[in-house]
Amino acid sequence: MHLKLRRKSNRRPQRRGDERAERPCKPLIIDLLDKLDTGLHSALRLAADVHLLPEENYGEMSMLQKKVLIVDDSPAQVKLIQGYLEHEGYWLVGLNDPERVEEAIAVERPSVILLDVVMPKRNGFQVCRELKSHADFSAIPVILVTSKNTESDKYWGQQQGADGYVTKPFTREELLRAVRRFA
C-alpha cells in the first residue's frame, strides 16, 4: 500500500454539473491513523503528505537490518560513521557516554559495536576488556575505531579482545569492510 494524501487545492471548483469538479480533501489523516494498528497514532502529528510503505516490506526490512552500536565521545564522529553506514541498510545507534555502554547493549542488542579508544572516564580498551569478560556481551564483535595507529596499539587492542581495528582517518570503504566482516 502506498498512500499519498494531497493538500487542499486552491483552485476553484468547476461548474456544478461537471462530473470532474474537484472535491476538497477531507481530514483523513486522523481516520487513517485510527484504522492502522501501529500503536503510535496518538503521538503522531502530521502536517503535509503522508507516505506509508507496505507493512510486509517494512517487516522484512527491519528483520534483515543489522544493528550497529557506535560509541564515541565526539558527536561529530558518531554522525560521520552514521553517514557512512546508513545507506548500507544498518540500524544505527549512537552513544557518546562510555559509562553507559553495557546499558545500551542490554537494551539495543547490537550485532556489532564500533568503539573509540580515546574517551574520557573509560577508554575503549577498558570497555572492550570488560565487554569480552562479561558472559552476556562476549559474543558481540567489537571493532576499535581510533586514531591510535601504532602496531603496539593494535596488538593491545587484540589482547583486550577486539575483533577488528580501524584507524582514523578512515575511508568509507575501510569502515564498511570491517563492519561487513563482523555484522
Q: Report the predicted TM-score, pTM, of the whole model to 2 decimal places.
A: 0.65
Query: Cell for 166?
Result: 580501524
CA dihedral 122, 174, 177, 118 (to 10 degrees): 0
Q: What is the pLDDT of residues 37-83, one digit of tens each?
A: 444 433 333 222 233 333 343 344 444 579 999 999 999 999 999 99
Distances (CA, A) of 31 to 26, 37, 49, 167: 10, 12, 15, 52
Q: What is d(CA 3, CA 87) in angstroms, rounded to the nearest whole number?
A: 24
Helix, strand, coil % over all residues of the chain, rounded to 5? 40, 15, 45
Domain architecture of the chain: domains with CATH: 64-182 (3.40.50.2300)
pLDDT tens for residues 109-140?
A: 999 999 999 999 999 999 999 999 999 999 99
pLDDT for 64? 58
Give the per-residue pLDDT at 9: 47
